[in-house]
Amino acid sequence: MRMNEEIPGYSLREIGIEVPESLIAQYPSERRERSRLLIYGVRSGRIIDDRFYNLKEYIQPTDCIVYNDAKVINARLRGHKLPTGARIEILLLNQRSDTEWDCLIRPARRVKAETEIAIEADSTAGLSIMVREVLGDGKFRVRFSEAIRYEDLKTVGTIPLPKYIRRPSEEIDDIRYQTVFSKKYGAVASPTAGLHFTERAVREIRQKGALWVPLTLHVDWGTFRPVREEDYRLHKIHKEEYEISLESAERVNRSIEENRRVLCVGTTSVRALESAAVETGVPDKWVVREGRSATDLYIYPGYRFRVAEGMITNFHLPDSTLILLVMAFAGVEGIRKVYRHAVHEEYRFFSYGDAMLLLKD
């Protein structure tokens, strides 16, 4: 969509987006729909400041809105090594069986195979894990002393807030770090664009005639991994599992055939749709394939979008792959302009921050 001549090299540092720490939201807004909404027209360069409860005014009756129904698990556990008592923090990533999980362990340098860790939780006396395998990069495969289901984690762990939220997880996060769409457990981070929606907002947009289509992408810890390479194209992106049902694929493909605008709620929905898109043999004509898969699709400036024609998203970390994705859609200079405006107008940033609506116009 945007060609490379618009890019000042391939360095996020050179692009130079900065967000004052004072604007990083530490708590959600008092009410979901009271978040601010910045609307940006990619072609016109026009910026509009509004509130999220007015999103319906920018939705067309023919729109197809794709959202992520992933649900965040209480993946952060605290414990201590046996027999030394050294404090340990565990972030569960992927469930392999009733008792086996892949996880991150911090600090990792003194953890090795056969290390035993007692889990600290009021209702789980005697629960422990044994490290079965060192996977590298701070990751381990562990075995619980008893079967652990996603639902069980509510009494064992806490919601894993990102590090830029500089406070422990609280009761409010059990509700507000989940979207109204959340249905399928497995994510370790929230698809945060959905945090602004209420059941009422969904209903009002549906009443306009817009079509709502679910998919599932389980947001992984790698979404917070910063881009450290001077040339961001060399960054190794994480894999995330996604699933698109036959019904959802058919509804999106019918919308494409009917020239409906496909809007995505969040970069996760964008990534899943774009990963599932296949060529039809007709130039610039794509369809979405149903099924379950894992994607390591890396979207950065110069990428040509196949399905997504607009997105509702949060403001992203300046050193992240997610900001590169929105730059691919709205242009490097466009996103620099949007962020300068948002900082000047004191928008709230990142997971619990405000939202933007990016449209081609």
Please tell me whether residues 144 and 186 are part of one structural domain: no
**Co-location of 33 and 65 in the same domain:** yes
pTM equals: 0.93
Q: What is the CATH number of the domain that holds 252?
A: 3.40.1780.10
Could you give the 3-state DSSP secondary structure of residue 228?
coil
Burial 221-239 (b: 16+ CB within 10 A, else e): bbbbbebeeeebeebebbe
What confidence score (pLDDT) does residue 123 get? 61
169 lies in some domain = no
Q: Over its length of 361 residues, how does the chain's per-residue pLDDT go in tens digits?
A: 343 444 457 999 999 999 999 999 999 999 999 999 999 999 999 999 999 999 999 999 999 999 999 999 999 999 999 999 999 999 999 999 999 999 999 999 889 999 999 999 876 668 999 999 999 888 999 999 999 999 999 999 999 999 999 999 999 999 999 999 999 999 999 999 999 999 999 999 999 999 999 999 999 888 878 999 999 999 999 889 999 999 999 999 999 999 999 999 999 999 999 999 999 988 888 999 999 999 999 999 999 999 999 999 999 999 999 999 999 999 999 999 999 999 999 999 999 999 999 999 8
| Same domain for 197 and 112 | no
The reply to whether 28 falls in a domain is yes
Amino acid identity for residue 152 in this structure: D
- 3-state DSSP helix/strand/coil percent for the chain, to nearest 5? 25, 30, 45
Give domain status of residue 266, yes or no: yes
Instruction: Give the CATH number for residue 141.
Output: 2.40.10.240
200 in any annotated domain: yes
Q: Which residues pair with 114 in a beta bridge?
A: none
Residue 150 structural domain:
76-155
> Distance between CA atoms of 302 and 10, rounded to whole angstroms?
11
Strand 116-119 to 128-136 pairing? antiparallel
Biggest CA-to-CA distance, the chain: 65
165 domain-assigned: no
Same domain? 20 vs 83: no
In this structure, the answer to whether residues 186 and 320 fall within a common structural domain is yes
Query: Rounded to whole angstroms, how far apart are CA atoms 262 and 197?
Result: 18
Are 244 and 278 found together in one domain? yes
Q: Please count the structural domains in the chain.
A: 2
Q: Read off the DSSP letter of residue 126.
A: T
Q: Is residue 216, in this structure, part of any structural domain at all?
A: yes
Q: Is residue 160 part of a domain?
A: no
